[in-house]
A and B are shown apart, each in its own frame.
Chain A
Amino acid sequence: MGKILIVDDTLFMRTLIKNILFTGGHTIAGEAGDGEEAIAKYQELKPDLVTMDVVMPKMNGIEALKGIKAIDPNAKIIMCTAVGQEQMVKLAIKSGAKGYIVKPFQAPKVLEEVKNVLAS
């Protein structure tokens, strides 16, 4: 079980991910609504894992991923984006993302992916 930071600009998605992670027995370290806040919260909360939306205001998820990786090269980050934006996968993986979730998603598979990334 891990301490997880949820990054997404919509409250709805944050609540959904939070709920899924709760049912999987994980702890929510905190939430962030954009890339800049994500980097600040990562430094402050030192989570075991981050779920990161790709399309966000101010700073997008890929930039935030790079920012967090610059602070902590071992950071475990799962990218989360909508159907049709899967071309971002390569860029995200190249930038150090450990996993990739496409919205809409199903709870058991998300928990499986979180478990795999935490164990990696």
Chain B
Amino acid sequence: MTEVPVKIEFNKEWIVTKLSVSEDRMVLPAPINKEILFKSVFDVSEKKNILIITVKTDTEVVYKILSVEKVLQFLKVRILPVCNAYRLMAYFMSPAIRGGVMIKEAQWEKGSVVVVKSGIWFVGAVKQISVPLSEVAAIELTKREVQGKPTDVIRIDYLDSAEVVSSLVLCPLSTLQVLYNFLKDTTKSMDMKGTELDGVDQQVAMLVYSGMDSHAIENMLNIPHKQLDQIYDKILTLGIGEVVIIRREIQLTPKGVRYISDATKSQTN
């Protein structure tokens, strides 16, 4: 057993403690007093420096473990290969594209892809990358040139801190197909016909994607504010966008007009 320092959330408070971790289990000491077999873990996710694991025995219990990256990495390397999940050996490249820019130093890494209840993990010797299914924007079975040959891969696009990131998975085609079907099925609620937005609407959506604000969009597409507002309404109704800021237009009251007139006078005197 290896002991690692952590904080565990217990009764809505963080308690400082040490976890005893072996190959197949970990022991949470008092006041929790719980032994967790890794094979009973069926969900693992990560938010900043908190590892969230869900264990199912008689009931479902969620444990939040906070620690430094080194400790969390140790726990992930122990838990992910044996937890209750769909797992396949694969090569992955993550991230391959970030915000539309190809990552030049990106390389294929040998490891495994672990699909748990709430997300996908790319597990390599050095890094373990978590992609929550709720953040997956697109999944595509496509081809990439690998060692000079066009090869079938899965491209997974997802949001990471508001940036669109693409990762690639490479493994035998039959396994890829199983993974692709599984992921497509899991993210089915995001499927759309592709005809919901007309030409201008799509341009607006594309500009929003690129980070343009409403003022820039109005200028670029030469459309009035009212039309843009209607397109925003359509985008919001479809559930493909969300309001992040509401801007206001104002006009001055007589008191404001007087203030500005006086200010101008004092500047010209």
Contact = CB atoms under 8 A, between A and B. Distances in A.
A87 B99 contact: no
Question: Among B99, B101, B163, B203, which residue has the most Cβ atoms of chain A within 10 A?
Answer: B101
Given A84-B142, A87-B143, A102 B150 contact: no
- Interface size band for A: 20 to 34
A100 B102 contact: yes
B209 A89 contact: no
Interface string A85-120: 011011000000001111111111110110000000
A19 B144 contact: no
- Interface size band for B: 20 to 34
Contact of A108 (B99, B145, B206): B99
Interface stretch (B76-84, B120-128, B210-218): B210-218
A86 B102 contact: yes
A84 B166 CA distance: 12
A113 B203 CA distance: 23
Interface of B: 97-102, 104, 142-145, 150, 163-164, 166, 203, 206-207, 209-212, 216, 220
Given A16-B206, A102-B97, 12 more contacts: A12-B203, A16-B212, A20-B210, A86-B97, A86-B102, A87-B144, A100-B101, A101-B101, A101-B102, A105-B99, A105-B210, A112-B101
11 contacts: A16-B210, A86-B102, A101-B102, A102-B100, A102-B166, A104-B100, A105-B100, A106-B164, A108-B163, A109-B98, A110-B100
